[in-house]
Amino acid sequence: MSAKSLIKVLTGAALAGAATMAIAVPTLTLSVDGAPAIMCADNAPCDGNPLPGVVVWDVIGIPGLTVSVTTGTAPPVTTLPQLQDMNSIDVTSAGAHTIVLMFSSTGYTSAPGTIFGSFGGTLTAGMTVDAKSWASVTNALFAMTTPLGEIGPFGPPAFSGTSTAAIGAIAPYSLTQQVTVTTGAAGGSFSGDYQLQIPEPGSIALAGIALFALGALGRRKQG
């Protein structure tokens, strides 16, 4: 096979692999004090952003409690690096509550590698917060098959932490994030960000090989 033909094959494979990254159904849920969760899915009426892969949710109707996720993002919006990101979470409570926010998306593909988690923010006295995540080769929303680590729990005033977890899945899989905020009788406020960074899919490596081959072809012509 000629170098030009090899480049075409590898580049085509890379683009085909990249297309699978775009399959995503990001969904947010909220549960307060153990009550059944309420849900906001991408492009549902509750979603404040029309872009696919972005969920903006301002939860209303819960007395004494304000909860918003300014941007929950997943592919196809986040591609290089691949991220699933609860980009800005804000909770304000007038009393004692346990607030559980979850964010899940499907259709991730990656090379075997490490999923990096990072969680940081601020909270007021009397509050605690922690973050957990899971992956699942069932590729189902909110499937908690493989734990990816816990970050926290943390107390006030400011915090940050990370997690690492090896993943071998190449076939499509789902990711689920969970942030739990606990407030005391005096209430308080929390603001933070929880992000997962996913290994690049094998298609990106193929694209790199294609670019290398293109460079080699150019050097051969010059010689």
Please report, for the domain that includes residue 129, its CATH number.
2.60.120
pLDDT bucket at 117, cuts 50 / 70 / 90: very high
Residue 24: the pLDDT is: 54
**14 part of a folded domain:** no
Q: CA torsion angle for 39, 41, 45, 46 (degrees, to 10)?
A: 50
The pLDDT value recorded for residue 202 is 54
CA 101, CA 180: separation in Å to the nearest integer?
6
Q: 199 near 114, Cβ under 8 Å?
A: yes
CB-neighbour burial class of residue 91 (10 A; exposed 0-12, middle 13-18, buried 19+):
buried
Indicate the pairing of strand 38-41 with strand 54-59.
unpaired
Whether 174 contacts 26, CB under 8 Å: no
pLDDT of residue 9: 30
DSSP structure class, residue 195:
E
pLDDT at 53: 87
Q: Is pLDDT of 23 > 50?
A: no
- Residues 30-68: tens digit of each pLDDT: 999 999 999 999 999 999 999 888 999 999 888 999 999
Residues 6+ apart with CB under 8 A from 86: 69, 72, 101, 103, 177, 179, 193, 194, 195
Cα 182 from Cα 130, distance rounded (Å): 9
Average pLDDT value for residue range 100-104: 97
Residues 168-221: pLDDT tens digits? 878 899 999 999 999 999 999 999 999 999 988 754 444 333 333 334 434 444
Q: Which one has a higher pLDDT value, 64 or 1? A: 64
- Count of structural domains, the chain: 1
Alpha helix (H) residue ranges in the chain: 3-20, 202-222
Residue 91 lies in a domain: yes
CB under 8 Å to 177, separation ≥6 — which residues? Answer: 84, 86, 102, 103, 104, 131, 132, 133, 194, 196
- 222 belongs to a structural domain: no
Residue 74 domain-assigned (yes or no): yes
Helix (H) or strand (E) holding 200: none
Does the structure show a pLDDT above 80 at 81? no
Cβ–Cβ under 8 Å, residues 174 and 138: yes
CA distance 160 to 194: 10
Range of the domain at 147: 22-200
CA-based R_g, the chain, Å: 21
Is 207 inside any structural domain? no
The predicted structure's pLDDT at residue 79: 63
Assess contact for 86 and 193: CB atoms under 8 A.
yes
- The tens digit of pLDDT for each residue in 119-170 reads 999 999 999 999 999 999 999 999 999 999 999 999 999 999 999 999 887 8
Question: What pLDDT is attached to residue 78?
Answer: 67
Asked if residue 217 is part of any domain, the answer here is no
User: What pTM was computed for the model?
Assistant: 0.80
- Alpha-carbon distance of 96 to 112, in angstroms, equals 42
Asked if residue 218 belongs to a domain, the reply is no
User: Residue 184 domain-assigned?
Assistant: yes
pLDDT at site 171: 83
